[in-house]
Amino acid sequence: MNLRKKNRGHSAEVHTSAMNDIMFFLLLFFLIASTVTNPNVIKLVLPKSSSGQSVSKKTITVSVTKELKYYVDKKEIAVADLQPTLANYKKLATELTIVLYVDKTVAIQDVVQVMDVAQKLNIKLVLATEPKG
């Protein structure tokens, strides 16, 4: 007399191959999304240019909003404090480049003010634009 039950090939299995694919796509999405977004950027509408270049040396950003607020590396400063602030950055790095972000509605005189300060301090200045498209 055989009292043992016969195992008829039934076993409990969990197939996780679909979950691996989902996790891979979620990871890929978040990696791409994190490199594209930059939450510490001042919102500006930049003018467009077809001959844009990237800058690879030591750079600082100077931003001018449409309300004529001036920012140096995301810190708001007064227009009168622009030259001393940039002079301090010039002391820290010999080959310094200013990347100037200006809203396209700002008058050209306000842009020339920043350019004059950069010229006096002998700092290279690059105007940031958006690509045409």
Q: CB under 8 Å to 91, separation ≥6 — which residues?
A: none
Q: Mean pLDDT over all residues of the chain?
A: 81
Which among 29, 92, 84 has a CA at the least distance from the CA of 59? Answer: 92
CATH architecture of 48-131: 2-Layer Sandwich (3.30)
Q: Does the predicted TM-score (pTM) go above 0.75?
A: no
The domain limits of the chain are 48-131
Which among 52, 94, 92, 45 has a CA at the least distance from the CA of 73? Answer: 92
Question: pLDDT digit string (tens) for 39-92?
Answer: 556 666 767 766 665 544 688 899 999 999 999 988 999 989 999 999 988 888
